[in-house]
Amino acid sequence: MLLEVRNLTKRFGGLTAVSDMSFALDEGDIVGIFGPNGSGKTTLLNLISGVYEPTAGQLVWQGRELAGCKPHRIAEAGIVKTFQNPQLFGELSVHDNIAIAGHLRLKRQAGWRRIATLFPLRGKASADLEPRIDHILRLCRLEAFRDAPAASLSYGGEKMLGVAMALMCEPRLLLLDEPGSGLGHDEIRNLDEVLRDLRAHGTTLCVIDHRVGFLGKLADRAIVIHHGAKIAEGPPDDVLRDHAVIEAYLGRSHA
Amino acid sequence: MKHLLWIPLLAVPFVVHDNVVLTILVFTFIAGILAVSFNLVFGFTGQLSLFHAAAFGLSAYATYLSMIHLGISFWLGMIVGVLFVTLISVVIGAICFRFNLRELYFAIVTLAFSELIRLVILNWNSFTNGSLGINFTLTPTLWVPGRGVIPVTGTLMWYYLSLVAVALAVFGYSRIVHSWMGRCFASIRLNDELADTLGIDVFRYKLVSFVAGNIGAAIAGSLYSFYISYIDPNYFSLDQSLAIIAMALLGGREFVAAPIVGALVLTALPHVINVNAEARLLIYGLILILTILLMPRGIVGLLARQRRAA
Amino acid sequence: MLQLVVGQLLNGIIVGTLYAIIALGVTLTFGITGIVNFALGAFMMLGAYVTWYLSDGAGVAYPIAVPLAVACIALLGLLVDQALFRFTRNNLINGLIVSIGLISVLVAVVLMIWTTTPQNMHYVLPGVFRVGGVIVPKMKAVVFVVLLLVILFTYGALTRTWAGRAAYAYAQKPEAAALMGVRTGVLQAGVAAYAAGLAGLGGGLYASLYSITPEIGSAYILKGVEAAILAGIGSIMGSFVGGIIIGVAEGVGSIFLPSAYNDAYGLVLLVLILLFKPAGLFANR
Amino acid sequence: MRQLSRSIGFIVVSIALASWTAAAGAQNVVKIGEIEAQTGPLNTYGWMSSQGMRMAVDEINKAGGFHVAGKTYKLELINPDTQGNPQQAVIQLKKMLEEDKVKYVFGPFLTNIFKGIEGYAKQHDGQFLLMGGATQIHYELGKPGNDYLMRTWNWDAGASGFGTLMVEYLRKKGVKKVAMLMQNDAFGHVAADIYREAFKSAGIGFEENWFEPGTKDYSAVLAKISAGKPDYLFPGYTDAVLYDIVQQATQLGLTKFWLVRGSLGPALKNKDYIDDYVAYIPKYFEEAEKSEPKVAKFIGDYKAFFKTKDFPYDQAPLCSSSCYDHVFMLVEAMKRAGTVDDVAKVKAALEGFTYDGLWKIRYDKTGEEIFNFDIVDVQKGGKISVTHEQPK
């Protein structure tokens, strides 16, 4: 088992954004987390990626407790998330954005030896990031914008760059926050390819979306949450036929 | 390529046989170290530290007092000064960054710490001679091929000593800035939350940048105090910190060496334009204002842009 | 001993309100224009000089000289804001540097007009109140009352009037406020002028207590910023309390501890408070 | 980045040009320099003395200069502003000595400036004279390698020290306890060291209190002091602090003052609240103006020269007039020495006679000045009594 979420709960003052959430992810899973707007999906992701500290519950990652760790520790452990509306280093080039995201790779490869590369006559440690950066640029169809400032990208381009940066972190579990929202058809298809490629390489994916879009086909397990609580879990097709779910989306009358 | 720009500086003393110009340049180079190192923290990591002048003064005191009390040479004394400043910076930086003080808060708390240090130095008369300051009785020595170990005296020797020092500083800091670590600094400056989720230890690299910057200030402090051969608590004054900021801004934040230009202008200005003090104060103020409003990228930034346009 | 402490408590509170009036200006300008205007200290210095010049030079009665000075400084504040700070909105560093440049310019002008010899205004209200061995100079009491009223008025204006609420709303959420029809430009200019006016008032009252030199501004702006920050920048009443905290810390501190460390007591408090409450005492986040 | 090198080159050249053009000077001109802070918090002395020098130089030149060994010379005054910053002072002094070839430099009054330039000045021992008022200079006088140094002010301590006479004056009044409240800066500590001794040997109790320069509200420390019930308060130097201290002290019931630097201004402003105010005043101009024609003339010239109606009675004694004298005394010494550039001869000449100007000035064998001064005693209501002192 890769990640086990046990009774995870988050309260903001009086409001309970996530209540007593439990589920598990195995190596190579692709899990879709669905739920209407404001159902607590993003909060859940922020809890897992350490942006928020849970009020209660545990996050067991390969038998290690992660709850309460800082985001960079969690990212180092192998959990990386993308943002719903993309976060970038706007004034830097697309290449440099991805290069910054290469920090963990560098750390894993070079360890403390990377300090030595600060001194003369020891080459640039970042050099061996380049092939990887080029690969990701190609994979995400961003080669054309390699040296353009990130701020100049289209919305879709920015989201793609967000994914690209996440990939550069070489996560074992990738959390995607509404990757499809606001994308055109080609961009969706491109994203779909990228995700399938990831699956092929055995990266575990946890994707959230408020609508059951292309994810339905991609995911092999769906978790539906409503008002911060899990109301259904299972194969997408079954889950989406579930009464509670239809209720959550369309209201009681249609039940 | 850009290393070529050091060559004219090496040649200056052969062209300009004028002690005053050379003296101004010595002060410029030492101030340059100060401004360049400050810009690592300010321009590249985005943290407005007002502790820089304190690091400068602390190391000056530490260097001389360790030489007197431990009977060590200037260069060892400088190392003591640097180590001492490093230690203090780690403590203060750790406090500020652990409690995640940002922007104005960081600026004010670092200012508070430097004020406290100034007050201690000022009132610890038995050890620092308080407000009377200390007149140096020692001079640095240097091994010069062919002449053996000789004391560093005279403008010419100081010129080359400080030139080498500032060149090394620029070299060292550009190594950092153009490395993976420089990218970490940039990510913190631009969006530290994102940097955090990408696995960059924001606390650690803020601290590294703060300490690395103060080390530069420490070296500048040891050199400056021995060139003037006098230290007093005014080294810590707020005006010092402000002057450093002005140099960095005037030169340009985005290039490692640019603050040296700011240092040159602000050091030379009082001696180039010969007007009374009030007018000089007026001009200084106008320079700051106009720099920000008309060329926020500083002198070098302006030139660089022109070149790109051309 | 007790009366010594009580006396310094009172004195600290009075001196503190002078810091507070600057802190108030700092907080307002920061909340609305997103910069910390260090030139407020220089405005205070100017306010003192103008008041002194009007009353001792031009022979205007002090109670009239002060409002006149306030008006002048507020106008100056407005001009400077439109000429300079309009271009550094929400850019802390640039605003800081411009204000520092402005300080040099203003000090230079004062030096050209009045040189550096300290100026002393005639005594407006000599004599002291004696209450059970505790001594409070009459003028200080007056200054305290006036400043207190102004601070309360500001608080009321910001919480009760439309313009005030607009300002508040803007400080919280600029975009939203703009959508709700708050005219940003006017608001910012107005606040800049008001803050300058407050500094000018501080200066005008200062002139009746202490001697005037071109350097006085720097000390007060530092104390003012300290006060605003340890209170939590953005809080009106906070800046008031913050000023008093620093004033009292200095007053009472220098009874029990060496007076040479006077300036340190406020700073130590500031650091401690920020460490345990990084956003300041009265911050609402 | 090549632009960078170009801009550096450009500025270097411009500096060079500027300083070279400055170096160009006419013949038969004796350049005298002044290293003083004319702006900044501690500029009173520097500002006033530069005024005195400007007047003197102007008068001498207007009178057609002066004759030494058959040649006629005029004076050229070079007085940059150190702004109290040692770094600037070093550069300015270098400029004077190495480019303008100045041989006679007046100042500084500020200790940190003197400390800042001392290292460099020593290297030019014997090539020029530095005639400053800084108290620290006293400790350097007469030491080997310090022939360039002279001190242009009465020394406080010692047999002919004015401080000793001031303390004596207080002892005669039967004072038992004095509380000092001093700036925590260089001169503050020098003063404390001197007067701690002076009062001890006079058998008067002495208590020290310090404040940060820039302080405006002294009521805390003053309240503490008045709790100790001293007979006299010995407040800091410079009027910038005296006005505030005296006013706030009287409010707290401390009404007797004794000071060795600073003017009568504070006493006169608070004359209804003080009981006694004893001050060392190099010359009490208000009185001298009536009794001494020279002084009356000086005051007239001052008003004419600076186009002002009011003469700074409280500031002038601090030095403008003493530095005014110093220029004339230097010229006189050059005449007597028969040379304008043999520094050693001129120094010997300076030490060889008593100059009778506004002051009676002579130098002792260490090169420290001794001149007559007044002890001015202001009583409640502004009644003033003056004691003239002529140190041996």
**Domain regions of chain A by residue span:** 3-254
CA distance D208 to chain C (A): 11
- Backbone φ and ψ for D373, nearest 5 degrees, come out as -145, 175
The residue written with tokens 């009178």 in the block is D63
pLDDT, greater one: A189 or A218: A189
pLDDT in tens, A229-242: 888 788 877 777 77
Residue B207, number of CB atoms within 10 A of its CB? 19
pLDDT in tens, D330-349: 999 999 999 998 999 999 99
Q: How confident is the model at residue D82 (pLDDT cuts 50, 70, 90)?
A: confident
pLDDT in tens, B11-46: 888 888 888 889 899 999 999 999 999 999 999 999
* Inter-chain touch A89–B201, beta carbons under 8 Å: no
Model pLDDT, residue D1: 45
Average pLDDT on D86-100 reads: 87
pLDDT in tens, C148-166: 999 999 988 888 877 777 7
Structural domain range at position C130? 2-276
Cα(A63)–Cα(D91) distance, integer angstroms: 69
Residue C72 has pLDDT above 60, yes or no: yes
Model pLDDT, residue D57: 94
* Inter-chain touch A103–B181, beta carbons under 8 Å: no
Q: How far is residue D270 from each of residues B150, D170, D229, D253, D381, measured CA to CA in Å? A: 61, 21, 20, 13, 9
Task: Parse chain B into domains and list their residue ranges.
Answer: 2-237
pLDDT averaged over every residue in chain D: 86
Cα(D259)–Cα(D233) distance, integer angstroms: 8
Model pLDDT, residue D3: 47
Q: How far is residue C141 from each of residues C148, C203, C208, measured CA to CA in Å? A: 11, 16, 12
Half-sphere exposure of C80 (CA within 13 A, CB side): 29
Q: Which residues on chain D are in Cβ contact (under 8 Å) with C8? A: 219-220, 223
**CB proximity list for D206: less than 8 A, separation 6 or greater:** D177, D178, D180, D195, D196, D199, D200
3-state helix, strand, coil in chain A (%, to 5): 40, 25, 35
* Inter-chain touch D227–C15, beta carbons under 8 Å: no
Q: Which residues on chain C are in Cβ contact (under 8 Å) with D309? A: none
Q: Is B184 on the interface with A (CB under 8 A)?
A: yes
- Residue D19 CA, chain-centre distance (Å), reads 29
- Mutate one of D51, D182, D251, D252 to test the C interface: name it (highest C CB count within 10 A): D251
Closest CA to D101 of D46, D15, D150, D29: D29
pLDDT, greater one: D277 or C219: D277
Residue D15 has pLDDT above 60, yes or no: no
Strand order in the sheet with A221-226: A79-81, A173-177, A204-209, A30-34, A221-226, A229-234
pLDDT in tens, C77-127: 999 999 999 888 888 888 888 998 999 899 989 988 887 778 889 998 888
Percent of residues, chain A, with pLDDT higher than 70: 89
Residue D165, number of CB atoms within 10 A of its CB? 20
Angle at D249 between CA D244 and CA D252, to 5 degrees: 135
Model pLDDT, residue B310: 36
Domains D27-154+295-358 and D162-281+374-389 share a fold: yes
Buried residues in B110-148 as b, exposed as e (16+ CB within 10 A): bbbbbbbbbbebbbeeeebbbbbbbbbeeebebeeeeee
**CB proximity list for D267: less than 8 A, separation 6 or greater:** D246, D257, D274, D277, D279, D378, D382
pLDDT, greater one: D368 or A188: D368
ipTM for the complex?
0.83
The two three-digit tokens of residue B104, written as one number? 């104005």
Q: Which CATH superfamily is domain D162-281+374-389 in?
A: Response regulator (3.40.50.2300)
* Inter-chain touch B109–C274, beta carbons under 8 Å: yes
CB pairs under 8 A between B and C: 104
Nearest by CB to residue B276, choosing from D81, D185, D189, is D81
* Inter-chain touch B232–D5, beta carbons under 8 Å: no
- Mutate one of B23, B27, B120, B131 to test the D interface: name it (highest D CB count within 10 A): B131
* Inter-chain touch D184–C260, beta carbons under 8 Å: yes
Q: Do chains D and A touch (3 or more CB pairs under 8 A)?
A: no
Domains: count for chain C:
1
Which one-letter DSSP state was computed for residue D99?
I
* CATH code, domain carrying C157: 1.10.3470
Of A126-130, A174-178, D267-271, the range with the highest mean pLDDT is D267-271
B238 burial type by CB count under 10 A (0-12 exposed, 13-18 middle, 19+ buried): middle
Domain range A3-254, its CATH number among 3.40.50.720, 3.40.50.300, 3.40.109.10, 3.60.20.10: 3.40.50.300
Q: Is the dihedral of CA A236, A238, A241, A243 positive or negative?
A: negative
* Inter-chain touch C259–D315, beta carbons under 8 Å: no
Closest CA to B211 of B310, B82, B109, B117: B82
Q: Which fold has domain D27-154+295-358?
A: Rossmann fold (3.40.50)
CA distance D222 to chain C (A): 10
Q: Is C115 on the interface with D (CB under 8 A)?
A: yes
Model pLDDT, residue B308: 45
Cα(B248)–Cα(A185) distance, integer angstroms: 48
Model pLDDT, residue B69: 92
Q: How confident is the model at residue A255 (pLDDT cuts 50, 70, 90)?
A: very low
* Inter-chain touch D216–C115, beta carbons under 8 Å: no
Q: How confident is the model at residue D41 (pLDDT cuts 50, 70, 90)?
A: low
Cα(A142)–Cα(B93) distance, integer angstroms: 39
Question: Does any domain span residue C285?
Answer: no
Nearest by CB to residue B21, choosing from D16, D136, D185, is D16
Mean pLDDT by 10 residues, chain B (310 residues): 74 83 92 95 92 94 93 92 96 89 85 90 86 83 84 88 94 89 91 89 94 96 91 83 88 90 88 72 86 86 62
pLDDT in tens, C2-42: 788 888 899 999 999 999 999 999 999 988 888 889 999 99
Cα(D283)–Cα(D295) distance, integer angstroms: 10
* Inter-chain touch B21–D12, beta carbons under 8 Å: yes
* Inter-chain touch D210–C259, beta carbons under 8 Å: yes
Q: Do chains C and A touch (3 or more CB pairs under 8 A)?
A: no
SS3 D295: helix
Q: Which residues on chain B are in Cβ contact (under 8 Å) with D94? A: 19-20, 23
Task: Give the DSSP per-residue string, chain C.
Answer: -HHHHHHHHHHHHHHHHHHHHHHHHHHHHHHHHSS--THHHHHHHHHHHHHHIIIIIS---HHHHHHHHHHHHHHHHHHHHHHTGGGGTT-HHHHHHHHHHHHHHHHHHHHHHH-SSPB-PPPSS--EEEETTEEEEHHHHHHHHHHHHHHHHHHHHHHHSHHHHHHHHHHH-HHHHHHTT--HHHHHHHHHHHHHHHHHHHHHHHTTTS-B-TTHHHHHHHHHHHHHHHH-TT-HHHHHHHHHHHHHHHHHHHHHS-GGGHHHHHHHHHHHHHHHSTT-TT---
pLDDT in tens, B219-268: 999 999 999 888 888 888 877 888 898 899 889 888 999 999 999 988 88
Flag the least confident range among B6-20, D4-18, D285-299, D366-380.
D4-18
Residue D21, number of CB atoms within 10 A of its CB? 9
CA distance B135 to chain D (A): 7
